[in-house]
Every structure is written in structure tokens, then in C-alpha cells.
A and B are shown apart, each in its own frame.
Chain A
């Protein structure tokens, strides 16, 4: 349900959270022996198990080279599985209350504008220091990607920070291409002031401890997140953008579109996840992101209800007969989805245009633009063509490129 709409950034935040239903507590402790059994079982089941029918390749096999990987780690109960279900599988946030503790690494392969993998780790195992099993670290960290470290802001996070730092030390030594993203998570019930305080404290402590361990300038970013609002999608947008080759080029295209069409802000969305993979060069603005992302939601919902079932042949025959005598294909102006919403306050329209199966362009327009839609649509067509070409090249490139080569292209901006 996209419907439990999340609030805008300016919304007052409820402080009293006493009524959130408490989570049915699964048994969180699993002995190392049982865990080892789980692992063996998992390896057997791996190919059968994936629920979406997407084949999850064995990480040790070379064929996966080149797909960016998001590794989600952190203490148990910090919210890792909730995050990956909400962001990548559209689980309504409230449903995560029934989520069970993760016992083995969950690997997801997502096929979108680019292919990438999401690995959800069990909080209760320490991959660097496990008594019963030694993990093949190359198989985990060998790919280009990001380590996403989830910290429960409502819990005591000292242990989480020291585990994070142990991980950072390892990565800096052997896998320096992995970017590190720290999510200070579950901040929905905290006041704005307190959120700021917590993220500062986490950042200070992490960098301090890392300094003591002799690590300087590790590529770490910090984000405040919650699955109950847009913050988690915004954070993942920033994480993913770092993994997109030639991001600068995309941004340039959107910036020029904004100039020619007098848009206030333009985003390129991955429709399935509501992650924006690029925007124009104007400063980041959460309120704009929120409204555009909710607009994508509206379109997805309407498309499901009215556009996802087949019409009858009679229906088509009738429509293609008198008075039009044209095929439906000839009757429509644009074969892709296009939409405009005019807001009441200042007549500022928002527009959406499908780019391909995975991507949509969403833009906030200037007051009064609604009358110039025809002209605007022509400009949009041109940019959409450019975007399509861009991704065709990128997808073709992915096939021949190895992970290491992609890293070389990353920090373009």
C-alpha cells in the first residue's frame, strides 16, 4: 500500500509513540551450530529459494562481476530486513512489525535501469570473527558497491559503532572501493532537534574511534532514516547515485531540460523503488523530492487499477470504428505514459513522463506552464530520447565491463 502516505519534511513529528504496536518477539538467539546448519541448507536451497523467480547467482561464480552490490549490515533488530523489504519490495512500513529475525544472508538480485544486488545480513553473525565458519570475504566485498550500516537510533549504539569500525578497518585495508553509508535509523519518533544531535554524535564517535584505529579519510557518509517516511528512499537515492557510471552526464541532461522548459526541478526516478537516480543541478530539496515521489506513487496505483488488465476485442473494435476509423495506436498522441497535475495554490503543474520500462521523468513546472504543455512535451521528447540512448549504452557497457573497471569511472560528478 503506497497509501499510508508519509509526511513532508516540515511536518510536526509525533513524539509520543506509545501506541505503536509492539513487535511480536521472535527468538533471536540461534546457536552457532544451528546457524551453520542454516548456512549449509541455504547453499543447497539458494537457487530454488528466491521468491521472485529471479535467479540468484552463486556469489562465488564469476558471472556476477559488474553488478553493483548493496551490503546491508548492522546489529540485529536495527531494521535491515525492514529497509530492504520496504525499499525494494514495496512492503508497507507497518507490516515490518511481523518480520522475523534474519538467520542467513538474503540475496536479492534486482533488474532495473541497471542490475544490482542487495544482500541483507543477519545481525547476529559477525562475518569477520565467526567461531563456526569463516566467510569468503572476497565473495562478499569483491564487487563494486556500498556497505550500508544500519544503526538503531533508539537503542544503545556503542557496540554497533565499534562493529562498524572493525568492518571499516577491514574494508579500508582490502576493499577500499566500497563506499560506506551509515544509516542512523528509526528516527521517526524523534524530534528534529534530537535527530540532529544523534547523527552528530554518531558521526563524531565513529570518526574519533576510526582515528584511534589509524583510519583517516574513509569514504563514510551519514544519513538520518526511517521506513515510515521518505527519508529511507532519499538516502538510498544518494547511495545508488554514487554507483552510477557517468552520473554527471545524466545531471547535465536534466539541467538543460530545466533551462529550456523553465522547470523548477526535475528528477529521474526508478519507478519500482522510488529512488531518484539523478536530478538537475539545483540544490537538493526534500519537499520537492517528496511530492515528486508521491506523484510516482499515484501514477503506479492508477496504472495498476485501470491499466493492468486486458480489454476485450469488441471494445477495441468499437473504438477503432466510427467516427475515428483509426487504430488505437494511431489515436493516441504518445505511446508512453504521460501525466500532468495542476496544484491549486499557484497553478504550478507537476508532470511525469515514462522514459522506459524502469524510469520516469518527473518535474515541477513554473506557474502558468500548463498552457504551454504542447511545446514542453516536444522538448521532453527530445530529452527522453537522449536518456534512452544513455541507458542503452550503459546497459550494453555493463555486459562487457568488470567491476574494477567501473570503479575507475565512479567519482565523476
Chain B
């Protein structure tokens, strides 16, 4: 079994681009994330569960959010989420769309829109949604949109799929409608240039109302969610995934580590949310029939943290466990351990005492290679500027450059 240090030495190999990268990576990336949807749809609940270690039942105590509840979530070392939890009562919504319009909808990286599947007034909810999407497209055309069809637990099991599909179809229709409205508005006023000014991909001065039509389609991703199961973690892991800086480096290094310790699977969790930041799976591990296992692991470990906090009486956001080992006879072994300051790592291995012990040592030895997860330091690789599609300069276990994913200009 190869030693991790030797196995990945090449990754750290000096690269000419390193110096150039320095400037880029010193920056902490900030992302403005809007959380919207009608009052009572569950926005504050999911935020509290993911980032504040509430359990589902604690959310029954949450009151309605007044205006906008702004929080800065430090996610790993060099990503900060500016989470705008926007109270959904009608008066507030109207205000976001009018007085606060540019304040709320400018520089948005991600919009998460939450629909309550059991809402009695779908038509009305969809109407509001159209207005919100129009405003978003007007001010932040590059924003990613995630639609959560939420509270799925309230739908009887045998209706879930059909109800979800129907909701998705309706929201899709309305999204197109919203885009059409903005397009018409633009064509009418000829204000296309002004509206798209925040776009960095637009060739300078090249936007005409005709060209604008094409990229006005908003790309939305849908998730069926409930705070009562792991579906919430699936949705949020996807939302987070594209925002994490240095992702290609993380992936490459996890793969090297996995191969070095002979693992079948490795998951890297952010330490507070326990969202899966990155993962690696061996060929054998790929035949695992549990496709939902990543969000399940988040959910299981998060629930466990909560149990520990009731047991020890320590605050729920405190670190609750440091080490976990599980050897299941001749079936598999695994351990979960504190990895870097901001992460936990789960390693699933084939059975065997020696394999297990050496993997633990090697994972501990690999910690320094992942230091950059804890702060804006230079990772063993280089960076490309924002806006340039990442994806060609890195690969294999070898040196190679890797890029910060271009997510549009940082907010400040």
C-alpha cells in the first residue's frame, strides 16, 4: 500500500502559474443567496436546519420572518454565503418588488425559491413567482435558480411523484412566462443595454435586444424536499456544490487519497452543515445501489450531532464528536474523523484490520495537503480567472492547474 505523501507528491509540484494564482486565491469569495417564497413555505426552517443545527421539529417554534433576515455563513475557509432569508408575507414581497427592487435583486449569485406543495393557493403563489423571476432576470441575469418543491412529506407516498411533476411543469411554464415578460419589456423600452450591464460574458457594447432574447432563458433546477428526510440535504448540497472554490483540486486530491489508502468511498463534509463538499468513489464502490447515500450520510451525522448536543449539554453548533470507527466484520470498515479545521472526512474501506489502521494514519498524514480548505491560501495548483470556463487545465493525479470556478464577479 503506497504512502499518501509519496502518492500525491506530484500534486504539490511547483507550477509556473502558482504566482499568478496567489492574487486570485487570497480573496474570499462572497455569494449573495436569496431565499424566497411565500410565508410559511419553510425558508427559515431549512436555513436553520442546514446552517444552525436545528432538527426538523425545532422549526415549529420559528416565527414568521420580518422583512429580510441577513446572515453571513462562512462555508469552508474561502467562501462566504450572504444568505438573504426574505420574509414571505405579502406586504414584504411587494416591497421587495418595488422600493427595494434593485437592493434585493442586484448581484444575486443564487436564488432559492421555495414552494409549499400543500399551499392552498397555487395560482397566487405562481403569480408572485413570476414577478420575482422577472425582477431577478432584470437585475441578475447570471443568477442560478433553484426551485424547491417543499413539504413533500405532507403528500401521501403514492401521490408524491405525480404531485411533484405537476408542480414542476407549472413552475416551468411560469418561468418561461416571466422571461417572456422581461423580453417584451426590453423590446418595448429598448433598455437592453442597461438591464444586462451586470453581465460579464456580454461582449462590451454588443448587446442588442435581439441578442438578448436568446440568453434570457433562466436555467432552473428542481428539487422535491422535506425537512423530515434527507431530501433537503440533496438540494442544498447541489446548491453549494457549484459555489465551492477550488473544487477540481479537491476532487483530484480526494481521488489520490482514496487510491492511496485503498478506500471504496471518501466523503468530505463541511463541518457545520455536514453538506457533502466533495466525494470520491472507487470502481467497486460505484456498484453501491444507494444513490441517495451522500445526503443520507449528511442527515445521519447531523442528527447524531444533535443527539450528542442534548447528551453533553454543549451548544448545538459546537463540535460534537471527533472520531468514529465502525468495523462490520468481513463486510466493510469505515471511519469518520475531524479532517481540516472546516471539514470532516468519511472513509469507507474494505474489511481488514491492517488496512484500517494504515488508512487512519495516511488520512491524518494527508491533512496538510487540504489546508487550503481552511482559508484563502494558495492550493497546490494554479487558478484561472472568473468567467473563463474551468475544466481543461487540470486532471489526473499529476500536477496540472486547476481553477476557481467562474461564478461571476464577487459581490463587493
Tally A residues with Cβ within 8 Å of B. Answer: 65
B284 touches A312 (CB 8 A): yes
Q: How far is the CB of B292 from chain A (nearest CB, A)?
A: 9
Chain A residue with the shortest CB-CB distance to B301: A298
A8 touches B299 (CB 8 A): no
A350 and B326 CA atoms in complex are apart in Å by 12
With A291-B308, A331-B355, A338-B327: A228-B1 Cβ-Cβ less than 8 Å: no
B284 touches A311 (CB 8 A): yes
A287 and B311 CA atoms in complex are apart in Å by 6
A94 and B57 CA atoms in complex are apart in Å by 11
A14 and B59 CA atoms in complex are apart in Å by 9
B57 touches A228 (CB 8 A): yes
A301 and B312 CA atoms in complex are apart in Å by 23
Residue A60 lies at the interface, judged by CB distance under 8 Å to chain B: no
Q: Which residues of B in the span 265-303 have a Cβ within 8 Å of any Cβ on A?
A: 265, 284, 287-290, 293, 296-297, 299-301, 303
Q: How large is the interface on B (under 10, 10 to 19, 20 to 34, 35 or more residues)?
A: 35 or more
Select which of B61, B154, B308, B329 is within 8 A of A335 by beta carbon: B329
B307 touches A328 (CB 8 A): no
Residue B89 lies at the interface, judged by CB distance under 8 Å to chain A: no
Select which of B289, B301, B311 is within 8 A of A309 by beta carbon: B289
Select which of A3, A14, A290, A335 is within 8 A of B311 by beta carbon: A290
A343 touches B55 (CB 8 A): no
Residue B56 lies at the interface, judged by CB distance under 8 Å to chain A: yes
Which residues of chain A are near B118, meaning CB under 8 Å? 21
A94 and B151 CA atoms in complex are apart in Å by 12
Residue A407 lies at the interface, judged by CB distance under 8 Å to chain B: no
A9 and B157 CA atoms in complex are apart in Å by 31
A392 and B374 CA atoms in complex are apart in Å by 53
Which residues of chain B are near A6, meaning CB under 8 Å? 57
A343 touches B288 (CB 8 A): no
Residue A17 lies at the interface, judged by CB distance under 8 Å to chain B: yes
With A332-B327, A337-B327, A342-B322: A306-B352 Cβ-Cβ less than 8 Å: no
Stretch at the interface among B138-146, B330-338, B399-407: B330-338
Q: How far is the CB of B191 from chain A (nearest CB, A)?
A: 44
Which 10 pairs show the lowest CB-CB distances between chains A and B? Answer: A8-B310, A5-B303, A331-B352, A339-B326, A294-B307, A345-B312, A307-B331, A342-B323, A291-B311, A14-B60
User: Which chain A residues have a beta carbon within 8 Å of chain B's beta carbons?
Assistant: 1-11, 14, 16-17, 19-21, 92, 94-95, 98, 228, 287-288, 290-291, 294-295, 297-299, 301-307, 309, 311-312, 315, 319, 323-324, 328-329, 331-347, 370
**14 further contact pairs, Cβ within 8 A, besides A288-B311, A337-B327:** A1-B228, A1-B230, A3-B296, A3-B303, A9-B310, A94-B153, A228-B57, A305-B290, A307-B331, A309-B289, A312-B287, A328-B350, A340-B324, A345-B320
